Structure 1
Amino acid sequence: MDFGNWTEGVFSTSTSEYESLETPVVPTNKILLTLTLSVLAILTTFFNCLVITAIGVTRKLHHPANYLICSLAVTDLFVAVLVMPFSIMYIQKERWVMGQAVCTIWLSVDITCCTCSILHLAAIAIDRYRAITDAVEYSRKRTGARAGAMVAVVWLLSILISLPPILWRYYSGDAEHEDQCIITHHHITFTLYTTFGAFYIPLLLILILYYKIYRAAQTLYMRREASRASRHSCMTNGSMIPSTYPAGEGAGEIGAQSPEPISPAEKSISEPSTEEPPRVRVSIKASHFKSRRLESRSESRNESRRSQLSQGPRISGARERKAASTLGLIIGAFVICWLPFFVKEVVVNTCSSCSISMEMEAFLTWLGYINSLINPLIYTIFNEDFKKAFQRLIRCSHYL
């Protein structure tokens, strides 16, 4: 081997040979894609941390129903911290460079956390269904221990669903799949087991429960509207009786009021007194003034109640539309994010002649990951307590 000629060839100053020794230039579109995915991962981490912190430091949010929200935020945080960064690196390099051991761990965490996030949505739907259809009985059973048990069951089911495909994963020995990190099986059973357990069964459960929740809320609004209309008709006929208010609406203001403590001025009227006449006259005037003040307060209260009753059907319709839009947003975001991915899983793994590009597969996978960004927004933004807690946290307020 001519060492001099080899050295001259390596250090040649020609343009083409010099450029071949340089580091490959990363395309602009790949840089933009990496930055976009990184921003999504950061936002997912931020919003889920915000939900966890708000529930942890705000006393008003220490409710068993919010424990499921907190556990969902923890699960989505795991997706953002343990799953998304490795996926970004995989997409950026277009091959797996961290070895098969790390690949197996990453796939296990990916499947378990995404399945757990989906099952949390089903658990929240069950909790809300029980709360609206069996409010009195379920309010006694809705404890922190029961919420913790639901969280434990969700995690256990997630592990049972994701573990078999990982254990019986098919390892290809050819060089073509050596730098890939995917799960392949020779049997369709694993695909059906994973997809139905992780998505299709929870999706069916969520659709049924939220439909029943909407119907129950609609029935409740109609009953309240009819009750308001009947009370309004009684009021216009001059036969309004305060005690006819159901508990929680008007009875707490008028019908269930406890008598106010008797003031010294009122005692001077009903009890014998040895005080001088001028002082008695002053007490009589004070008592008369207070009775007139109570009458005026009662009249203003009745006027405000009449206006509320006249607006009852309109408020009820607005609440019904808000409930329908909220449920539609929850179900729509879940279906849009995860349905394309799981349809792809079934088609690709059951059809031997069907295939999909790596770009499309990465897009569908990240569409599912985005659900972990949307969840903390959807499940908290319609709650006024969460809104106030977020505002205080963002303003770094110490009075939570």
Structure 2
Amino acid sequence: MQAVVRCLHCGRATQEVCVSSGSHAGAAVQFSESESIWTCPTEGEVKKAIMDVGGLVPGNVCDYSHNVSFYYEHVGKDISKNWSIRDFVIVGLGLPICLVMVLSNVMVVVAIWINQRFHFPIYYLLANMAAADLFAGLAYTNLMLNTGPWTSRLTKKQWFIRNALVDISLTASVANLLAVAVERHQTIFTVQLHNKMTNRRVVLLIVCIWVVAVVMGMVPSMGWNCQCQLDDCSIIAPLYSRRYLIFWVSANLLTFFFMVAVYARIFVYVRRKSRRMSSHTSFPVGQSETVVNLMKTISIVLGVFVVCWTPGLMTLLLDGIMGKDSNATAYEKYCLILAECNSLVNPIIYSYRDVEMRRTFKSILCCLCRWSGVHQGETSPTQVHTSQPESPQGDEVFEIDMEDKEAMSSQQLIKTRR
């Protein structure tokens, strides 16, 4: 502490650093052996000495001059200097998966938009969930293009944006699932097939979901990070504060538990009342089956979401609580791949569980194939010569193997949209 006393005779900036450093400065700052001959250290020298012994730059004095590599080295996380086989495998498999993820979720959004049977609040929220999965595909693509040896080239701003995109996609999905849970609870317990919520309220709810997601994703870049407290740095995300990770993961896990409780209550209620509702004149058997099937679909989506994201969240929670002792970097990549698969699986669930959604997907693909054929025909003289003018009954060109005639409504609607 004698060094701290000596600092009091130095400049004001150095005094503030020394006094707030406490024992760290006393142990780190070196002076001349003779008390009568010594020089005041500069503010930068004091901070460097503190950093050299693993101390903190204390108080409100933060050092923002370090690059991304510094924080990785501080927590002991390696950045690949050269491309390894593992890096090639991750990027080589990740990018095609991201492409399929984006295209499949675009199909879900388009299907809900063009099919009037899906123009209800619950399907608007499912479309928003598909939009969140689409956003996740773009976020993972950006992550793949800025990983491995490319990480060291990132500025801190670019690094925060890269991680914020993934955080935003997860928060949007969680918030959207929560909105679906509340909507289903209100609808089922008022014995309705679809909620009477107005389109304006649905749009407002969707906007609120994305505002919350963006704010939560930008919190670390706005100040809740470890640039001023190096011992609080995460080993998975080295610029993130471990306290922030604990908060963020805890909020998501609590939301998970709440949604599971809500869906369990709804499912038990529907199973118990299904016979009574089916015999009710205002709630036919068809609607009762529709409610049950829709609830099963949403429950599967929620279950897959929990299975895919819980390992990653628990890994982040261990990192936040234990830090380097958690050894979280050993399995973070596997958790990331599992989380990435969630956004790819949802469109498969929709097409498998919902017959109308599957028919709409087929209609979209049929129209794309027809459009591609017409486009090729414009460049092929033979096809132009053999092509026939469109007849008034041109709907027949849309015909594919359908399960029943109801599929034609989706095809005619697509043609009308075009």
**TM-score normalised by the chain length of structure 2:** 0.60
Q: Cα offset for 1:379?
A: 4.3
Q: Is 1:77 matched up with 2:130?
A: no
Q: Which string of whole-angstrom CA distances, capped at 9 and with x for unpartnered residues, describes residues 143-196 of structure 1?
A: 21121122122123223433333322123899xx9xx9643326x2x2332112
Q: Is the contact made by 2:183 and 2:195 (CA closer than 8 Å) also made in structure 1?
A: no
Q: Cα offset for 1:393?
A: 0.5
CA distance in 1 between partners of 2:102 and 2:111 (Å) = 14
RMSD between aligned residues: 3.4
Q: Is the contact made by 2:350 and 2:357 (CA closer than 8 Å) also made in structure 1?
A: no
Residue 124 of structure 2 aligns to which amino acid in structure 1? Y
CA distance in 1 between partners of 2:319 and 2:273 (Å) = 45
Q: Is the contact made by 1:166 and 1:183 (CA closer than 8 Å) also made in structure 2?
A: no
In the TM superposition, 1:239-278 aligns within 5 A as 246-247=281-282, 249=284
CA distance in 1 between partners of 2:136 and 2:176 (Å) = 14
Q: Cα offset for 1:90?
A: 3.9
Q: Cα offset for 1:207?
A: 0.4
Q: How many residues align?
A: 285
Larger RCO (alpha carbons 8 Å, 6+ apart) = 1
> Helix, strand or coil: the match of 1:159?
helix
Q: Cα offset for 1:201?
A: 2.2
Give the structure with the larger helix fraction: 1
Q: Is 1:121 matched up with 2:92?
A: no
CA distance in 2 between partners of 1:159 and 1:71 (Å) = 15
Q: Is the contact made by 2:186 and 2:195 (CA closer than 8 Å) also made in structure 1?
A: no
Q: Cα offset for 1:380?
A: 5.2
Determine the structure 1 residue equivalent to 2:262: 209
Determine the structure 2 residue equivalent to 1:347: 318
Q: Is 1:150 matched up with 2:205?
A: yes
1:376 maps to which of 347, 350, 365: 347
Q: Which runs of 4+ in 1 moved over 6 A?
A: none
Residue 182 of structure 2 aligns to which amino acid in structure 1? I
Gaps of 5+ in 1: 1-23, 228-244, 251-307, 309-314
Change over 3 Å in CA distance of 1:139–1:94 after alignment to 2: closer
> Helix, strand or coil: the match of 2:326?
coil
> Helix, strand or coil: the match of 1:395?
helix
Matched-pair identity in % = 17
> Helix, strand or coil: the match of 1:351?
helix
Determine the structure 2 residue equivalent to 1:338: 309
Q: Which string of whole-angstrom CA distances, capped at 9 and with x for unpartnered residues, describes residues 110-163 of structure 1?
A: 212221112111211221221111135x95732211211221221232234333
Change over 3 Å in CA distance of 1:330–1:130 after alignment to 2: same
Change over 3 Å in CA distance of 1:77–1:391 after alignment to 2: same
1:112 maps to which of 153, 162, 168: 168
Determine the structure 2 residue equivalent to 1:49: 106
CA distance in 2 between partners of 1:223 and 1:28 (Å) = 60
CA distance in 1 between partners of 2:313 and 2:237 (Å) = 18
CA distance in 1 between partners of 2:334 and 2:275 (Å) = 44
CA distance in 1 between partners of 2:175 and 2:154 (Å) = 30
CA distance in 2 between partners of 1:87 and 1:166 (Å) = 17
Q: Cα offset for 1:64?
A: 2.3
In the TM superposition, 1:132-171 aligns within 5 A as 132-136=188-192, 141-167=196-222, 168-171=224-227
Residue 391 of structure 1 aligns to which amino acid in structure 2? K
**TM-score normalised by the chain length of structure 1:** 0.62
Gaps of 5+ in 2: 1-80, 368-397, 399-410
